[in-house]
Amino acid sequence: MNDSILVTGGAGFLGSHLCQRLVHQGRDVLCVDNFYTGRRANIAPLLERRSFELIRHDVCFPLYLEVGQIYNMACPASPVHYQFDPVQTTKTSVHGAINMLGLAKRVKARILQASTSEVYGDPEVHPQPESYWGWVNPIGIRSCYDEGKRCAETLFFDYWRQHQLQIKVARIFNTYGPRMRADDGRVVSNFIVQALRGEPITIYGDGSQTRSFCYVDDLLDGLELLMASAPEFVGPVNLGNPVEFSMLELAELVLRLCGSRSKLSFHPLPGDDPKQRQPDIALASRSLGWQPKVSLADGLKETVAYFRSTLDHDLARS
Ligand SMILES: NC(=O)c1ccc[n+]([C@@H]2O[C@H](COP(=O)([O-])OP(=O)(O)OC[C@H]3O[C@@H](n4cnc5c(N)ncnc54)[C@H](O)[C@@H]3O)[C@@H](O)[C@H]2O)c1
């Protein structure tokens, strides 16, 4: 069997960390990306490694490669980017899944889908176990992402039932860390960039809505354990950090770590914004022996250091 690993969306935030980790483990990695939200800088240090190959390609089109494993990570993840071209977002999730599943079927590869907590929509159950089917608006501004990812899950499970494909489905909850984009509108990067620039911190609603935040290293541990798990364990499995923080608590922590005096600025809640989202990780803990280890304060320190250096670089270039 071919033991090289395909990472679609490999130049993005999570994908580039995954590529780096796999290359450092001595694996042969094929990174596929169309650079919609990914950046060359994220994978620049890997480009000179012989075990790393970059292929510029849109997963909406078929791809013929010889690989043993596929991590299907391609899809813009931040609302700003996935709502910019919603038709392309749905196509990336659905056509991308069909093409990557077709590839996995042809070469008998094991394939992991980076699904999302967004499949639960605006949940009525807290925390969300995998058995919860979700409360999702099919026609709202987030639907291109939520329903695209739900359809991708359907395709994964149908390929598994119909073609006995080796699938793994991870439902990823809010993950943060170095290499997030400064302009992607996700709350952690927004707060840090605003705090470092001394701009007002944008809080939607009254800031009491909560999120749980998983550090990138913890998430990748979970993805790797899932990929290596027994064939009969297919998921879906939640991967995220169950410790909840309100937006106000997050803002205070970020301000402290950045040493910033930015003020808070309150704005109306955007459409379909879930009020609370928290993973139930009992299944991941029981089946994969996985638990997040990095505290929010420690993960934020690394992330703040990353943004401090990239923002300094941007200022120096302007
Ligand atoms: N970061 C999170 O908190 C989070 C949460 C849930 C799910 N996820 C999922 O994890 C995956 C990676 O997310 P991320 O945070 O790294 O996002 P990201 O936007 O940084 O990375 C996505 C990557 O996919 C590439 N891409 C987009 N459309 C493509 C296409 N049609 N063909 C080829 N490449 C394409 C982008 O250029 C980018 O490099 C996504 O599938 C996302 O839905 C992430």
For residue 124, how far is its CA from the centre of ligand 1 (angstroms)? 26
Nearest Cα neighbor of 69 from 36, 117, 113 is 113
Q: How far is CA 247 from the centre of its chain?
A: 20
Cross-strand partners of 128: 279
Q: What is the pLDDT of residue 269?
A: 85
Q: How far apart are CA 197 and CA 311, in angstroms?
A: 9
In this structure, which residue's CA is closest to atom 43 in ligand 1? 77
For residue 12, how far is its CA from the centre of ligand 1 (angstroms)? 6
Sign of CA dihedral 52, 55, 60, 65: negative
Q: How far apart are CA 208 and CA 262, in angstroms?
A: 19
Q: What is the pLDDT of residue 318?
A: 38
For residue 157, give both structure tokens. Answer: 């499970």
CB 232: neighbour CB atoms within 10 A? 6
Mutate to test the pocket of ligand 1, among 36, 90, 112 (most ligand atoms within 8 A of CB): 36
Q: How far apart are CA 184 and CA 303, in angstroms?
A: 14
**Ligand 1 atom closest to Cα of 42?**
39
Nearest Cα neighbor of 304 from 314, 315, 294, 296 is 296
Mutate to test the pocket of ligand 1, among 37, 111, 217 (most ligand atoms within 8 A of CB): 37
Mutate to test the pocket of ligand 1, among 70, 75, 82 (most ligand atoms within 8 A of CB): 75
Nearest Cα neighbor of 289 from 215, 213, 222, 220 is 222
Q: How far apart are CA 296 and CA 220, in angstroms?
A: 16
For residue 145, how far is its CA from the centre of ligand 1 (angstroms)? 11
**Ligand 1 atom closest to Cα of 15?**
16
For residue 84, how far is its CA from the centre of ligand 1 (angstroms)? 14
**Ligand 1 atom closest to Cα of 149?**
43
10-residue block means of pLDDT along the chain (318 residues)?
91 98 98 97 97 98 97 96 96 98 98 97 91 95 97 98 98 96 91 96 92 96 98 98 94 96 92 75 98 97 96 58
Active-site annotation holder among 145, 159, 176, 215:
145
Q: How far apart are CA 258 and CA 16, in angstroms?
A: 25
Q: What is the pLDDT of residue 106?
A: 98
Q: How far apart are CA 24 and CA 20, in angstroms?
A: 6
Q: How far apart are CA 218 and CA 238, in angstroms?
A: 13
Cross-strand partners of 111: 70, 167
Residues 6+ apart with CB under 8 A from 31: 7, 10, 11, 15, 19, 43, 46, 52, 53, 54, 55
Residue 130: what residue type? E
Q: How far apart are CA 163 and CA 125, in angstroms?
A: 33
Residues with CB under 6 A from ligand 1: 8-9, 11-15, 32-38, 58-60, 73-77, 92, 96, 114, 116, 172, 174-175
Is 145 tagged catalytic? yes
For residue 262, how far is its CA from the centre of ligand 1 (angstroms)? 30
Query: 183 — phi, psi (to 5°)?
Result: -105, 15
Q: How far apart are CA 313 and CA 41, in angstroms?
A: 13
